[in-house]
Amino acid sequence: MEEGQKVTFKMDPNEDTEWNEILRDFGILPPKEEPKDEIEEMVLRLQKEAMVKPYEKMTLAQLKEAEDEFDEEDMRAIEIYREKRLQEWKALRKKQKFGELREISGNQYVNEVTNAEKDVSVIIHLYRSSIPMCLLVNQHLSLLARKFPETKFVKAIVNSCIQHYHDNCLPTIFVYKNGQIEGKFIGIIECGGINLKLEELEWKLAEVGAIQTDLEENPKKGIVDVMVSSIRNTSIYDDTSSSNSDNDDTK
């Protein structure tokens, strides 16, 4: 070894030697690192991941009742959770901003119906209060407006919108979306008849895309099937009678 050349030794600061202990005592070396128990760490991690806070599955009302049972850390989490639910509720209220059958006049037609909000379905009923079927449709539409608050329901006395509109065309229901007519029902027959049921009108409006119904099939289907069956039976009876009559004539 040449004179003046420095000699360096590689030293493990975590090695358990007397010299290292002296250096640690003087603060030259950091404290010795204790070996980690990997199994214990894994168990703790899995326990933490498996732990589910009870408030995560609670409604706002249940959270309020259980407030006294949570510690400080839980309460901070609950406040965050409440804020999130509040934002969701506001977003839902913003989307569901109608919820009633409103009366409009003819001069409001363009703004309220033709130029209504983008991608919002608008159902307008043109009516005359002297026609019982119009009053029935208004009753049904009022209930449907509450059930489907994301759809805009309005009504207007027909004379305020269209002059000299014939009574035979009433009730008249138009369905608009983005300024275009998506569906129309003109007159008593197209609107469902004088015995129109709420579910039947709901189905009609769902068929033209005005609402998203939870009905699984046309409520009038059973009635139609009975009518078709009756017509068929009558036809068969008439054919049989006619055939018997022809046979009698040939005797």
Burial grade of 74 (CB within 10 A; 0-12, 13-18, 19 or more): middle
pLDDT surpasses 90 at 177: yes
pLDDT surpasses 80 at 196: yes
Give the mean pLDDT of the chain.
79
- pLDDT over 90 for what percent of the chain? 46
pLDDT at residue 246, as a whole number: 55
Q: What digits encode the pLDDT tens for the residues 33-70?
A: 666 566 777 777 766 655 656 666 667 677 767 767 77
30 versus 99: the higher-pLDDT residue is: 99
Q: What digits encode the pLDDT tens for the residues 64-83?
A: 677 677 777 677 777 777 78
pLDDT at residue 95, as a whole number: 61
Q: How far apart are CA 65 and CA 59, in angstroms?
A: 10
pLDDT surpasses 70 at 237: no
- Averaged over 6-33, what is the pLDDT? 66
Contacts of 134 (CB under 8 A, 6+ apart): 125, 127, 128, 170, 171
pLDDT band at 23 (very low <50, low <70, confident <90, very high): confident
Helices (H), the chain: 18-25, 38-50, 60-65, 72-95, 109, 132-147, 158-161, 187-191, 198-207, 221-250
pLDDT surpasses 50 at 227: no
pLDDT band at 24 (very low <50, low <70, confident <90, very high): confident
- Averaged over 99-107, what is the pLDDT? 95
pLDDT at residue 228, as a whole number: 44
Q: How is residue 107 written in tokens?
A: 């001069």
Task: Give the DSSP letter string of 172-207.
Answer: EEEEEETTEEEEEEEHHHHHT-TT--HHHHHHHHHH
pLDDT surpasses 80 at 12: no
Please name the amino acid found at residue 121. Answer: S
Q: What digits encode the pLDDT tens for the residues 80-101?
A: 777 877 777 766 666 657 889 9
How far lies 79's CA from each of 5, 47, 92, 173, 223, in Å? 67, 24, 20, 47, 54
pLDDT at residue 226, as a whole number: 47
- Averaged over 20-43, what is the pLDDT? 70
Q: How is residue 251 written in tokens?
A: 């005797």
Q: How far apart are CA 16 and CA 96, in angstroms?
A: 71
165 versus 14: the higher-pLDDT residue is: 165
Confidence (pTM): 0.55
80 versus 160: the higher-pLDDT residue is: 160
pLDDT at residue 81, as a whole number: 75
